[in-house]
Amino acid sequence: MKIRKNLGGLDRILRGGIGIVMIYFGIIDSSVVTDEFSKILLTIMGSAMSFIAIIAHCPMYAVIGFDTCSTESGEPNNT
């Protein structure tokens, strides 16, 4: 199954970073986010974002026809 890349370098880095931070506060560090529900939610969001950053394909981008891969200005429009 061919996955079409539509995330450029900077976009992926930002998403990956945010995703990792989210996972960190979701699973590892409990001081900032203390209640279970939020932690789970945060972990889910973080994993999703990291995964998308890894495969360099955001399905939402695909829906709206946006692409930061070919334009190497690399500024992400939205998370």
For residue 73, state whether it binds another protein (rule: CB under 8 A).
Answer: no
Buried b (16+ CB within 10 A) or exposed e, 35-70: eeeebeebbebbbebbebbeebbbeebeeeeebbbe
Q: How far is the CB of 24 from another protein (least distance, A)?
A: 13
For residue 63, state whether it binds another protein (rule: CB under 8 A).
Answer: yes
Residue with structure tokens 């001081």? 31
For residue 3, state whether it binds another protein (rule: CB under 8 A).
Answer: no
Give the x-and-dash track for 26-45 against another protein (CB under 8 A). Answer: ------xxxx-xx--xx--x
The number of residues that bind another protein (CB under 8 A) is: 17
Name the segment binding another protein (CB under 8 A); options: 7-15, 57-65, 68-76: 57-65
C-alpha–C-alpha distance, residues 76 and 22, integer Å: 18
